[in-house]
Structure 1
Amino acid sequence: MKWNYQRRLNLYSKFSIVLFMVFIFACTALFAKDEPKKEEPVIKSELLSGLKFRNIGPAFTSGRIADFAVNPGNPFEYYVAVASGHIWKTTNNGITFEPIFDDYGTYSIGCLAMDSNNPNIVWAGTGENNHQRALGYGNGVYKTVDGGKSWKNMGLKESRQIGMIAIDPRNSDVVYVAAEGSAWGTGGERGLYKTTDGGNTWTKVLNISENTGINNIVFDPRNPDILYATSEQRRRHVHTKIGGGPESAIHKSTDAGKTWRKLESGLPKEDMGGIGIAVSPVNPDIVYAIIEAANSAGGFFRSTDRGESWQKMSDYSSSGQYYNEIYCDPVNVDKVFSVETVSRVTLDAGKTWQSLGLDKRHVDDHALWINPSNTNNFMIGGDGGIYITYDNGKNYMHVQNLPVTQFYRVALDNETPFYNVFGGTQDNNSFGGPSRNFSSDGVTKGEWIVTIGGDGFWTRIDPLDPNIVYSEYQYGNVYRFDKKSHETVYIKPTPEKGELTYKWNWNTPFIISPHKNTRLYMAANVVFKSDDRGNTWQKISDDLTANIDRNTWPVMGKFWSIDAVAKDVSTSLYGIIISLDESPAKEGLIYAGTDDGVISVTEDGGKNWRKISSFPGIPANTYVSDIYASRFDENVVYASFDNILRDDFKPYILKSSDKGKTWISITKGLPENGTVHTLEQDFIDKDLLFAGTEFGAYYSYNGGNNWVQLKNGLPANAVKDMTIQQRETDLVIATFGRGFYILDDYSPLREINPSLNEKEASIFPIKDALMYIQKSNKYGQGATEYLGENPPYGATFTYYLKDVPKTQKEVRQEKEKELFKEGKPIPQPTWKELEDEAKEIAPYLIFTITDEQGNVIRKLTKSASKGVNRITWDLQYSNTFTLQLNDKKFNPIKEDRGFWMVMPGKYNVSLGMYSKGEFKELVPAKEFEAKSINNTSLPAPDRKEMVEFQRKVAETTRVMAGTIDFNKELIEKMAYLKQAIVNTPEAGNDLMSEAVKIEKELNNILFNFEGLSAKASDEEIPPQQVPLSQRLYYIIEAQINTTSAITNTSKKAYEIINEELPSLVKQLEKIALVDIKNLETKLEQAKAPYTPGRLPVLN
């Protein structure tokens, strides 16, 4: 009893204490002041505007074309819908193209339609109009009314893929949009939509179901109220594809879309898939359809009664998921084109077909335009870009200036002095080329090499031998490529005796071990390892997938027969490894991620594996798009997941700090539609991460807690892969539709964090500058030549500026803006105040460059702007030629071209600002180094002597150029003085003789400098004494483009100049300061009118 009493007493005491603590906390909460939650400061993309990506293309392969819109009144003007690379426009028949749709939040374009009444009005449907495996999605329909200068989203943002747009030729405000809807899920804006007010409002006029949209809409050209539409039931997921169903059909309306009926007579009774339809412009009673259907019921069909009944002309059809688009010839009613793998044409209404011509042309076509004035001239768009023929397909011209290649992967070598960029592409081979070159023009198409053909994917280069390149095409077909000989060895692992075939993904992972350059890993449903560069392979895992039978999952709410339309066609087998990595921090620590949502890890090189199939916040069985083992900590691993093929566009990135046992999400700052494809980590700062998403590149400065977009120079595009060139600290990314992009020297990102805002200004660490002679190697190539962009030549300074002082005008305008908002009177500035504003010099930055001795050798200026920016010094001394002013106006930021290269060595740069009449130093001197790459065959034995000679020549140039210009100014002045003598009554007649004598002496001096003027070429002038300017030209021409030794000819020329120049300068000095002054004094005494350079005397 006592024990129970004591126990109760103890419990009561404990309970009292708990109640007391709750009361205290409640009171604290009650009486405490509400303190706002402090938000962690974040970096904004706008701060990073100076960190700009550059595009290196290439363009020689081009990329997949979806549609054309050609101006019927001027076929030299047309628009190109690039399937994964935005919209481009040409006004000169393809000599040049301009991207005109880079900043509208999507990159995938399905179709275009030009208003026949106004070629400046063009409609664009976003989201590629098919359902193949490498598909992008859109955000609605857009319209331009100014020829592509600007675009406006007109709605249907949830349509995902748009198949076709039709504009009523009688009324431009009436537009029909065939919205296919998402290929990966139900619902959304799916069906046929119509607007009667130019896109302000939309009405769905044909609805099939949540699974079936409309992929074609065409008019009867005689009566646009007669419409034909095709519906397409389809679905694609990672594990499967259904290419058709009972809801695919052809529909007709005779009342502008108010009512519809399904056309059936003569058409397949089986489930249909993708349907293409076209009305003959020659005889609109004739309608053609190409139909994919189950059980071989599809084919090519013709109606002669406006679709009321159909006749099957042949069994010919193509793949509805990628093709089945037909085009009627504008003059021949029986001639129809079908674009597909090998495009075809029929001349007998579809009974027989022949190839359209493939000589020196890529396969896989998707778009066609036929010149109505000359049908032998047509333009085809496909996976290989644009091809144009003028002889009915016998010969084609390939357009090679559209850098719209779709890259799946990117890899880099360590070649010196410039590394190479390699990658695999969608249907355009695997190849590699230089990240930059010695030319001031850029990288040419001839500098790229193809390693293997097909659809290219993973490429890896031996880190110790850049001549050994591994490239693969689809399904793990990997080759070892010898860059020296261009030989290839096929090294794909094959099953052992008695084994079943492996399951390979379309995009098979392949890596080189970070611990041994001859060790390779690749994966099917199992992981393979080779220690001899792929000559032999060892299987180091069992099947690491979830082993799910894909037929046990319903599609569109149903289970489908194996006979369903194109079931699982062009779809990889399910249950395959698609991401693979070995930890750089620990040998044998390997991660494998699968398409069915499993991550497996081995810590002993594959002897034992641990499977992980459940992840916080990640839907089950989600595709593991990338797995990235930390460079620094063997316990840390990152994983990204891509659930886009289940209509889930959210970004998923997880981090584990215990080798995958537990995970946390790190996606703050990524957009809701930012599906993540790839991850990368800096090699110095473990918290500096990069992510490639469906619509751009992002970085995190704090280990994934916050993400910031890197977008300057980079259009909205899918970043499928990214990697780092450590020697150069470059971030290189592979986009799926705009080629390769490079962010040169991203090292400032290591210091760009919220604390940066505490500084007034900063110069980030400066990368060593490479010194070489940059020359232009291209002349007369024409404007069609695409050149990959080189980085600016020289030393690049990346700097930060917190604020820019406001000018008087900006201060006034800000005050006026506030007063206007408040409805208060706005004081009007005086004319004097406005004049002072106009004369005020806006703030500008001054970068002062000094050598090791502290001598100032160059100053660079730039407009002051907030944030992170860049400026590049060309490694040259200041120009010593005569200054030139545009419109004779002062411009503090006028480009100052250098003259003569500096010595290799260490230099310093400081940053200051000029504002409101004062100079202020912002950042003290920061050191950097200029390094020669030593690529000269005959280098100067004494570079210092060479540079000193060049400096002397620069000083001689300054003096001679200035003296010649001064000489010419004096001659011009003499014209004024002679005119003043004639016009002044009191001027003595002897003054003219004096003036003529002076002028003659000036002309004689100028002759010594410049000699006779040539009518065409100096070589046509009879023998004369060599002008000093010509001797100087010989020296400059001999030395300006080389680091070789000074020629003796140059030395002799310099000696001659030094002998003759001083006396000419002295003669000119006497004429200017004595002879002309005396003449001017006499003219002033004679009260002559003003002449330039003479100050009148007030008597």
Structure 2
Amino acid sequence: MKRLLLFTGLITIAFFLLLAFINPYAPVAKYEEKNEHGISGAIEWWMSVRVNDQTGELDLASMHEAYDAVNSMSSNRSMGIQWEEMGPDNIGGRTRSILFDKNNQGVIFAGAVSGGLWKSTNNGLSWGKVNDLFESLTISTIAQASNGDIYFGTGEAFYSFGLNNPTGFSAFGFPGRGIFKSTDGGNTFTQLTATIPATGNSTTEDWAYVSRLATSPTDANKIYASTNKGLRISSDGGTTWTNAVGPILSYSWDVKTGSDGYVHAVVGNKYYRSTTPDGNSFEVRSGLGGFPNSGIGRIELEVAPSNASYVYAICINSASEDLQGVFKSTDGGTNWTLIGPGGSASFNPPGQQGTYDICVGALPTDPDVIYFGGQLSMWKYTPTLGWFSVSNWLGEFFDPDIYIHADMHAIEFNPFNPSEMYVGCDGGLFRSGNADDIYPIFSDVNRNFNVTQFYSVAAAATGEVIGGTQDNGTNYIDFLGNTTMAAKEIQGGDGGFCEIGKVNPNAFFAGLPAGTVTRSSSKGGGFNLFYDDRIDASGDGGIDEGADWLTPFALWEQPDTGRAFYILGAGGVGGNSGHMWLTTGAMNFSVDPDWFRFPLTSGWVTCVAFSKDGDHAYAGTSNGFLYRYSNLLAVDEAGKFSYPSISSTAAAWNAVDSGIVVSSVQVAPGRYLRWIAVDPTNANNVVVTAARYGNDENIWRSTNALESTMTFTDLTDNLPKMPVWTAVVDIENPNRIIIGTDYGIYARDLGNADGWTEENGGMARVPVLEIKQVPYYGKPYLYIGTYGRGIFRSGSLVGIDESASIINNAMLFPNPVHEQANLRIVLAKAGLVEINIYSLKGDLVLKLDEKNLAAGESNILINTSKLTPGSYLVNAKSGSSVFNQKMVVIK
């Protein structure tokens, strides 16, 4: 159906004005943040927490040394922690590479930048991971040789501010481990030895970033690789590699081969073409035949599959990262015509981040037609119609047929069906089955494609979880979706830290970038800002003095009194000071609460935490200081969390005069403190961790944290020298400390001499940015947010295998229920089954006698006659297996 997308902008504006009129908390406000910040804030934050503390630069050598140290550690998991994947299985994540297997119809491969390699055998209807144990899960490119061999390259160099210096290189994405090859159709892969980055003193090791791979159309052994150290060529299937003759040894963005065998490449901001088909020698073509020669950053190439004489080049401005121009050649790259001029507000697909997100694909049935994906929309070009938009990043709200998630990175066409086009983007994978129509129809194809990048996680006592993600909003998994791992996006854009109320589990708190925090009284049904004019006098929704891109905050509640404290950290990033702010009214949704500013800190605040009793709050800073603020309960009881008048400024309230006692210690001079974990059984025991590479110490512990002079001892021991993103002190055994790192979970029991052990049972070695321990129906569970593989949980620290599910299947019927429900449950083996009914607030309302059931199918009757009408949660547990289903009782 033809859709006139010329009017998409007007339709979008009208639609969201209508939503805002009907509902003041409509999605338009939620998504403004994403458009405003783009990717630069995330890149800057990752740079700030991963650089070498001594040099201020990305230190690839230290990263590779940490990887080698991880591999050399014993594989024994002394605590035997086993992880259970929770999802989401419907959201996706940043995907830069797609490959249709040309020898097997319906088989597709997709590479995520921190979630690894995935495969579909049913043409994208569902996905499964190929191998979670690859040496690198940061995949940027996939290619297939003429004999069917498959290669993928690792390292994400496009996560960058651009390559402004032709002889330099600056990227802050995760480095890779070279190139991997499969000779059995993608079932197994082997790391190519010649491409393994060598650990050394250089900050630019060979093969740290492989951005593009291309293969010869006729020689199955001829492979081309765009790397951070130039264009490399192999003539023996990847066993050995040589430098291309001609280009300088600078970073290579792209390489493509045509059906005629000619090779087109980008090296050091210049366009090169091979002098012969399948050649090793290249000549620079920038500045010739109409191809631009100055002010260029990234260049993305495309050779039309139906006619190799048609070559396209998207050129990005090096300084502003917007579009310089789209160029077309019809004679194999000799002469070029500008078909898409830059410098226009109405046509600038990459926005201001062309290094990060551009892709181009030529229609297989017509070499004159191309698609151009960028930041917010997919554009199409035909010689007769020119340029027009065919997608809208907000289309999910008014026309799903035109929706593709923002930030596009890959376009691929199905060789068995040239009308079928796949798009890889920050929202995973999207498909069109009619790409040869003027206006294609799009839909997402993310089923089981769990590569979502989480910054945080929070859990309710009944097991539901929320988490903030990179560019996929704040996700909520409540077990009530199409699958138990399906998530709802309850707030858009880039997510941050999250909290769920314990006294009121309907209360959700969610962060947005750089100082904006929101709350919801209805489990994400609508989020609102809740700053006053002391913390946000400008009224823009942020903290006036600034804040870290991932703004730290924490919630403390006292169940028997309903008292609650909420703290967050502030301070201009890059500056020398900051503050911690506190409000006592976060759980009162009827008003915007007063905020109280604590004394100045050295460095901006990077992490915060409470003691279990709420009497002490802690703040860590970018200068390595830890601050403790004590006597909070007495100050609150005395009514001293108050201002002398409504018009009082933040400075009118004095924390020390109010009775708060401030203590501080510089745990690690100049270090970026990343996490504070307080022992829930003894507030004297506090663990502090730090970010960044190039340091011998990254985690410390104090056993006198409540004294006026706190002291900390290094706990790094045998832990590889890498950032420690998060930590928790086990409530069941305070000697046990569990941490999250770039390579997953590690743990240590201070009661023995084993040191740190890897505890990644059931999950990949992916970065873990937050870990929390939360009671799940009374039993302490660990929850983790991973940066690339979603959310996981574990119910035991003693080796219970939660992945070996006892409950194979269960179903509750009828539902809604009048007087009696039937729970049909299928067990893999005989065992005890415990069944409880909870209110949606988490209160136990009905407990059934424990059942000893045989393997196979059993039916259990649930009498609901004594339950009042409403919604409940049915919870069945057998061993480590858990089944939850919402039940509606009617009369």
What's the TM-score, normalizing by structure 2?
0.69
SS of 2:789's equivalent? coil
Aligned mates of 1:178, 1:711 — CA distance in 2: 33
Match of 1:655 in 2: 701
Q: Report whether the alignment pairs 1:250 with 2:271.
A: yes
Deviation at 1:541, TM superposition (A): 3.8
Aligned mates of 1:78, 1:307 — CA distance in 2: 30
SS of 1:96's equivalent? coil
Structure 2: state its 5+ residue gaps.
Answer: 1-71, 162-171, 198-206, 343-347, 572-578, 633-654, 815-824, 866-891
1:677-697 deviation digits (Å, cap 9, x = unpaired): 111111132210011111211
Structure 1 residues 737 and 655: alpha-carbon distance in aligned structure 2, compared to 1, 3 A threshold: same
1:863-884 deviation digits (Å, cap 9, x = unpaired): xxxxxxxxxxx7xxxxxxxxxx
Quick one: which amino acid aligns to residue 299 of structure 1? G
Match of 1:536 in 2: 593
Provide the identity percentage: 21
Match of 2:473 in 1: 429
Quick one: which amino acid aligns to residue 370 of structure 2? V
Structure 1 residues 778 and 252: alpha-carbon distance in aligned structure 2, compared to 1, 3 A threshold: farther
Aligned mates of 2:680, 2:846 — CA distance in 1: 44
SS of 2:468's equivalent? strand
Q: Which of 487, 491, 498 is the equivalent residue of 1:459?
A: 498
1:554-581 deviation digits (Å, cap 9, x = unpaired): xxxxxxxxxxxxxxxxxxxxxx433222
Match of 1:291 in 2: 315
Q: Report whether the alignment pairs 1:419 with 2:463.
A: yes
Deviation at 1:167, TM superposition (A): 1.5
Q: Report whether the alignment pairs 1:390 with 2:425.
A: no
Q: Report whether the alignment pairs 1:344 with 2:379.
A: yes
Match of 1:581 in 2: 609
Deviation at 1:165, TM superposition (A): 0.5
Match of 1:784 in 2: none
Aligned mates of 1:270, 1:609 — CA distance in 2: 56
SS of 2:676's equivalent? strand
Aligned mates of 2:118, 2:460 — CA distance in 1: 32
Deviation at 1:931, TM superposition (A): 5.6
Within 5 Å, which residues of 2 pair with 1:941-960? none
Structure 1 residues 623 and 93: alpha-carbon distance in aligned structure 2, compared to 1, 3 A threshold: same
Match of 1:25 in 2: none
Within 5 Å, which residues of 2 pair with 1:321-720? 321-341=355-375, 342-348=377-383, 352-356=387-391, 358=395, 359-360=399-400, 361=403, 362-372=405-415, 374-392=417-435, 394-399=440-445, 400-414=447-461, 418-434=462-478, 443=484, 445=486, 448-483=487-522, 486-492=525-531, 495=535, 497=537, 501-513=544-556, 518-525=564-571, 526-533=579-586, 535-541=592-598, 544=601, 546=603, 576-584=604-612, 587-594=615-622, 599-603=626-630, 607=656, 615=668, 620=670, 622-643=671-692, 648=694, 652-657=698-703, 659=705, 662-672=711-721, 674-702=722-750, 706-720=755-769
Match of 1:123 in 2: 151
Deviation at 1:330, TM superposition (A): 1.8
CA contact (8 A) 2:508 2:524 kept: no
CA contact (8 A) 1:299 1:317 kept: no
Deviation at 1:263, TM superposition (A): 1.7
Match of 1:1015 in 2: none
SS of 1:1040's equivalent? strand
Aligned mates of 1:502, 1:449 — CA distance in 2: 33
Query: Bigger radius of gyration, 1 or 2?
Result: 1
Q: Which of 276, 281, 286 is the equivalent residue of 1:263?
A: 286
Give the aligned length: 682
Match of 1:64 in 2: 94
What's the TM-score, normalizing by structure 1?
0.56
Match of 2:298 in 1: 274
Quick one: which amino acid aligns to residue 288 of structure 1? Y
CA contact (8 A) 1:64 1:381 kept: yes
Aligned mates of 1:88, 1:649 — CA distance in 2: 35
Quick one: which amino acid aligns to residue 368 of structure 2? D
Structure 1 residues 388 and 688: alpha-carbon distance in aligned structure 2, compared to 1, 3 A threshold: same
Within 5 Å, which residues of 2 pair with 1:127-142? 127-132=155-160, 135-142=173-180
**Range 310-319 or range 81-90, more displaced:** 310-319
Aligned mates of 1:207, 1:627 — CA distance in 2: 53
Structure 1 residues 371 and 493: alpha-carbon distance in aligned structure 2, compared to 1, 3 A threshold: farther
Match of 1:193 in 2: 232
Q: Which of 285, 294, 300 is the equivalent residue of 2:326?
A: 300
Structure 1 residues 585 and 490: alpha-carbon distance in aligned structure 2, compared to 1, 3 A threshold: closer
Structure 1 residues 260 and 208: alpha-carbon distance in aligned structure 2, compared to 1, 3 A threshold: closer
Aligned mates of 1:142, 1:942 — CA distance in 2: 53
Match of 1:94 in 2: 124
Quick one: which amino acid aligns to residue 387 of structure 2? T
Match of 1:561 in 2: none
SS of 1:1041's equivalent? strand
CA contact (8 A) 2:247 2:283 kept: no
Structure 1 residues 692 and 704: alpha-carbon distance in aligned structure 2, compared to 1, 3 A threshold: farther
Aligned mates of 1:146, 1:771 — CA distance in 2: 34
Structure 1 residues 543 and 292: alpha-carbon distance in aligned structure 2, compared to 1, 3 A threshold: farther
Structure 1 residues 394 and 943: alpha-carbon distance in aligned structure 2, compared to 1, 3 A threshold: closer
Bigger share in helix: 1
Structure 1 residues 297 and 735: alpha-carbon distance in aligned structure 2, compared to 1, 3 A threshold: closer
Aligned mates of 1:258, 1:493 — CA distance in 2: 65
CA contact (8 A) 1:49 1:712 kept: no
Aligned mates of 2:683, 2:846 — CA distance in 1: 50
Aligned mates of 2:315, 2:813 — CA distance in 1: 50
Quick one: which amino acid aligns to residue 224 of structure 2? Y
Structure 1 residues 610 and 1044: alpha-carbon distance in aligned structure 2, compared to 1, 3 A threshold: closer
Quick one: which amino acid aligns to residue 214 of structure 1? S
Structure 1 residues 353 and 665: alpha-carbon distance in aligned structure 2, compared to 1, 3 A threshold: farther
Within 5 Å, which residues of 2 pair with 1:902-1051? 932-933=835-836, 1040-1044=859-863
Aligned mates of 2:733, 2:470 — CA distance in 1: 34
CA contact (8 A) 1:108 1:137 kept: yes
Deviation at 1:778, TM superposition (A): 11
Aligned mates of 2:456, 2:292 — CA distance in 1: 42
Aligned mates of 1:934, 1:498 — CA distance in 2: 48
Aligned mates of 2:186, 2:784 — CA distance in 1: 28
Structure 1 residues 48 and 160: alpha-carbon distance in aligned structure 2, compared to 1, 3 A threshold: same
Deviation at 1:337, TM superposition (A): 1.4
Match of 1:173 in 2: 221
SS of 1:731's equivalent? strand
Aligned mates of 1:482, 1:510 — CA distance in 2: 18
Quick one: which amino acid aligns to residue 470 of structure 2? Q
SS of 2:720's equivalent? coil
Match of 1:230 in 2: 266
Structure 1 residues 777 and 93: alpha-carbon distance in aligned structure 2, compared to 1, 3 A threshold: farther
Bigger share in strand: 2
1:304-347 deviation digits (Å, cap 9, x = unpaired): 44434443331145223321222222232221212222121111
Deviation at 1:475, TM superposition (A): 2.6
CA contact (8 A) 1:432 1:450 kept: yes
Match of 2:642 in 1: none
Aligned mates of 2:473, 2:847 — CA distance in 1: 48
SS of 1:503's equivalent? coil
Structure 1 residues 280 and 931: alpha-carbon distance in aligned structure 2, compared to 1, 3 A threshold: closer
1:124-144 deviation digits (Å, cap 9, x = unpaired): 111234115983331111111
Aligned mates of 2:239, 2:368 — CA distance in 1: 40
Aligned mates of 1:479, 1:106 — CA distance in 2: 36
Aligned mates of 1:62, 1:176 — CA distance in 2: 29
Deviation at 1:109, TM superposition (A): 0.8
Structure 1: state its 5+ residue gaps.
Answer: 1-41, 181-189, 232-246, 547-575, 750-763, 780-792, 795-873, 875-894, 902-929, 955-1035, 1047-1099
